Amino acid sequence: MPKYVVKIEGRNFYGRHMVTQKDLKYGFITVVLVESLNLEMAEMDAIAVLKDDENLREFPKNTKGDSPTLHVDDITEVEDWPLSAYPRSGLVWYPE
């Protein structure tokens, strides 16, 4: 089955940062590694990995109508996995 590296950006995540203890809107960038049938499935599978992450689901405290979003920035098919953690490689938060 083909292997994909999917770069995803999360935006508009309102919540308290664990280190700074500040309530702000944050974004993040992460890389998700998936095995999928095709490019379209790779996008859906990578988003599903993030939606299944309990910590990520519990972080946002957005009000109704101001939901966080996930945006796929890039999908690359690869022969072998890069030297990083499967299924995710890091998650870097930044204030918006």
C-alpha dihedral, 73 to 77 to 79 to 83, nearest 10°:
10
pLDDT in tens, 29-53: 999 999 999 999 999 999 999 999 9
Q: Which domain holds residue 28?
A: 3-95
Structure tokens at 53: 């992450």
Residue 7 makes CB contacts below 8 A (sequence gap 6+) with 29, 30, 31, 72, 73, 74, 75
Q: Alpha-carbon distance 23 to 88, whole Å?
A: 25
**pLDDT tens digits along 74-85:** 999 999 877 766
What average pLDDT does the structure give for the chain?
92
The pLDDT of residue 13 is 96
What confidence category does residue 88 fall into, taking pLDDT thresholds of 50, 70 and 90? confident
How many distinct structural domains can be found in the chain? 1
The pLDDT of residue 84: 65
pLDDT class of 18 with cuts at 50, 70, 90: confident
Q: How many CA atoms lie within 13 A of 91 on its CB side?
A: 15
